[in-house]
Structures are given as C-alpha cells and as structure tokens.
Amino acid sequence: MKAIRIAILDMYDNARNEGMRCIRQLLARSAEENGARFRVDTFNVRAENELPGLDYDIYVSSGGPGSPLPSGELWEPRYFRLIDAILAHNKTSEQKKHLLLICHSFQLVSRHLGVGTISRRKSTSFGVLPVHFTPAGKAEPTLRGLADPFYVVDSRDYQLADLNTRRIEELGAKILCLEKERPHVPLARAVMAIRFTPEVLGTQFHPEADGEGMLRYMLTDERKHQVITTYGEAKYHEMVRLLADPDTIEYTESIILPTFLRRALAQLGQLTAA
C-alpha cells in the first residue's frame, strides 16, 4: 500500500500549545481506522522558516498565537507561495492536494485570498462556544452529523467579517458556519468555516481539540489560574463543564478532521468511498 505523505505546517512559533498533540493524535487514529499508511513530516514555519514542497498529498496548517496581519517576516511570502501552488496544482492535476487550515492559518489564507476583512475583535473570543450553520454548511459533507449549533474550542483576538462576495464567487468558495448569534451586539458575526475549494477547508475554530485532553489540561493548577485570572471564575467553570460533556468538543473532534482525512484518502484512491 502506498504511503500517504502528510505535511503538518506548525504555525505556533514555538509557543506552548495543545494543538500539535491533538493533530498528531488524530492522524495516528485515522491511519489505524482507515487501514492507511501515513508518512507525517512537521515543518516549523514561523520559528524556523521551514516549508514543504508540493510532494505531499495532504497538508494540515495549524493554529497559532499572534496577529494574522502582514508581518514582514521571511516565512510569510513563502507560506503564501505554497498555498498558491497547491491551489494552482489542483486546477490542472487529477491527483489533488488536500489542505486543512486551522484558526491562525484560516485567518492568514482568508486575508491572502481576499475573501473578507481580517480585523482585531473588540474583545478576545475564548471558550467552548456554539457555532451555527449557514445553508451551505448544512450541505457540507465534512460537517455532516454535527448538530446546529455545534460546539467548538475558540481562542482568537481577530476575526473574518465584511465579506467580499465577488471574490468568494470567483473562488467558488462557500461560507459554512458563523459564530454564535448576539442580537444585543450591533457587530457583524464572524465567519467560522469556509470551503475554499473542493480540496481546501478552513475553520476559525479548533476542530482538532481533544475534549478529554483539553479537560485534563484545563484542570491543571497552572491553566486554571491563567483562565480565572484572565477571564474570570465563571468562564473557567463553564469551560470545564462543557469539556466534560461528550456531546460537545469530543463529538466535534470525532467528526470534522477524521471526515476531512477520510474524504482525502478516498479522492487519493486509498478508500473505496468517502
């Protein structure tokens, strides 16, 4: 059996995180469940200016800290050249490259492709929060099986809003999800997921988040103190309660990234059906 080559684009800039653990855990689980062979390589994009070539089948670009606005750093134009190369390859090649963009990566690529405005939020969005489908989201195979709304781990200071509908139509992109409804707040609802192309999916939230592992992390004294100090005791206890509920983050984790990988394997000829 052919080994599927997977590139993890580590966008955490050497910051401590749970995301990379969760991504690797889901890749290992997917390989076992689908009887596939994965060769996984990790590229430290922001800290080491490491980027893969086009010789991978699947790319997973992680979340990360900091601003998604233009940085002037060396890695940024190289990262966008890779994104453009994947998109160009998929237009002409039968053997597609599949790309998942998570949180910080989603913001970067949304800015690069001009689908809307990336701006700083009035306040940080942090917690286990509901996400609502658009009509396109209800028809999106990667999200099938999720409730409306479904729950996600959200952690961001920036958002995508003020959409460029003409550019979205040019790309053939579909807006899949929006953040929670806030009828008392006179602000645009941020976009939470986009199907950029048939092979490229982006989420503002963290679909890789592991409910059990995140709960274990949240219960450590260090993280408990950080969250309570920054967001208050009520927010902390709400997160712990929702993380402990198997119908929230644990369920979201079991659907989105595994389905993305299964559909990629099917298109690559490694499964009989998606």
Which pLDDT does position 182 carry in this prediction?
A: 61
Instruction: Name the pLDDT band for 44 (thresholds 50, 70, 90).
Output: very high
What percent of the chain shows pLDDT beyond 70?
Answer: 97
Q: What is the mean pLDDT of the chain?
A: 93
The residue-averaged pLDDT of 1-16 equals 94
The answer to whether residue 215 scores a pLDDT higher than 90 is no
- Could you write out the DSSP letters of every residue in the chain? -PEEEEEEEE-STT---SHHHHHHHHHHHHHHHHT-EEEEEEEEHHHH-----S--SEEEE---SS--S----THHHHHHHHHHHHHHHHHH-SS--EEEEETHHHHHHHHHHTSSEEEEEEEEEEEEEEEEE-HHHHT-GGGTT--SSEEEEEEEEEEEES--HHHHHHHT-EEEEEE---TTS-SPPPEEEEEEETTEEEESSBTT--HHHHHHHHTSHHHHHHHHHHH-HHHHHHHHHHHT-TTTHHHHHHHHHHHHHHHHHHHTTSSS--
Model confidence, pTM:
0.93
The residue-averaged pLDDT of 234-263 equals 93
Which pLDDT does position 30 carry in this prediction?
A: 96
The answer to whether residue 28 scores a pLDDT higher than 90 is yes
Residue that wins the pLDDT comparison between 20 and 123: 20
Which pLDDT does position 184 carry in this prediction?
A: 58
Residue that wins the pLDDT comparison between 231 and 74: 74
pLDDT tens readout for residues 123-174: 888 888 999 999 999 999 999 999 999 999 998 999 999 999 999 999 999 9
